[in-house]
Amino acid sequence: MIKDNQLPELIQVLTPSASSYDEFTFDNLFIGSPNVYGGQVLAQAVAAANHTINDGKFLHSMHAYFMHPGDNSLPIDYKVTTMKNGRSFDMRRVVASQLGKEIFEMMLSYQIFETGIEHQAIMPNVARPESLTSFSEIFAEYAAKFNIEPRGIFSPKGPFVFHPVEHYDPFNPTIRPAINHTWFKTNGTLPDNPLLHQATLAYASDFNLLVTALLPHKISFFTTPMQIASLDHAMWFHRPIKTDEWLLYVVESSNAINGRAFCTGKIFDLHGNLIASTAQEGLIRLLK
């Protein structure tokens, strides 16, 4: 763990200030992006909705739309609406806004624990995280060469540590298949709070999705002017989560057209358990 990293700040911005039972306000964690990082809004919406569930049900799916960019300088207000309280399932709707303008909307579904049929995809056989170099170490050489301050995924002080399986040079990208394998975990230990582990996994799930769609085109943020943004995001939680232990994110982009790219992801733990799945479509607009 790197001392003085942003993990304590992340925990703080995922802890809501409640003005009522179903209204919450969160601050932002700046990681270098010009607008509020989409994963932060996902995680805060999950944290807000989780505070309204008190009957033992667990979050199993969420579906979200990003409507407007978030302003890093302003807090974000979240309004939770109860759509259903049932015997087996609960549903919540969360709307995020800044200065009264809605920027994001999410639907969430919660379920009681049930037994039934079980199967899962097999985790790919890739190098283990301990044998790999972190993104921050890989990027340090380029940061010094081009006088760039590393932030977020590229910084050793970021709230998460990322160990890519495939080497990636953002300043000299090559043509690769649109599939990406990355190990990740929080940059330190989290409290033993399942809701916090769930929210932090939602936070990390927005990393590497749209970037994977760039791989077959020999472009990156640092070589090609582009506008890139998440449009929608879906996530399914399958099994218990420990985000302060190594997790493998397998991301694939099966389609890109009309300025949009579609990506899906599978998240495995060290023991090969499939703990979550993701899907996202995003805007990738090449600028002249």
The answer to whether position 2 is within a domain reads no
Model confidence over 103-128: pLDDT tens digits?
Answer: 999 999 999 999 999 999 999 999 99
The answer to whether position 121 is within a domain reads no
CATH of residue 185's domain is: 2.40.160.210
pLDDT of residue 135: 83
Total domain count, the chain = 1
The answer to whether position 119 is within a domain reads no
Helix, strand, or coil (residue 92): strand
Query: How many residues does the structure list for the chain?
Result: 288
Biggest CA pair distance of the chain? 59
Q: Report residue 156 as tokens.
A: 């050793």
The answer to whether position 71 is within a domain reads yes
Q: How do strand 101-111 and strand 58-66 relate by DSSP bridges? A: antiparallel
The answer to whether position 20 is within a domain reads yes
Q: How far apart are CA 14 and CA 153, in angstroms?
A: 18
pLDDT of residue 31: 86
As beta bridge partners, residue 230 has 282
Catalytic residue annotation = 206, 230, 280
The answer to whether position 168 is within a domain reads yes
Q: What is the pLDDT along the chain (288 residues), one digit of tens a residue?
A: 445 789 999 999 999 877 788 999 999 998 888 899 999 999 999 999 999 998 889 999 999 999 999 999 999 999 999 999 999 999 999 999 999 999 999 999 999 999 999 999 999 999 999 999 888 887 777 766 666 666 666 778 889 999 999 987 778 889 999 999 999 999 999 999 999 999 999 999 999 899 999 999 999 888 889 999 999 999 999 999 999 999 999 999 999 999 999 999 999 999 999 999 999 999 999 997
The answer to whether position 226 is within a domain reads yes
The DSSP output letter for 208 is: T
The answer to whether position 28 is within a domain reads yes
Q: Residue 139: which domain range?
A: 7-114+126-286
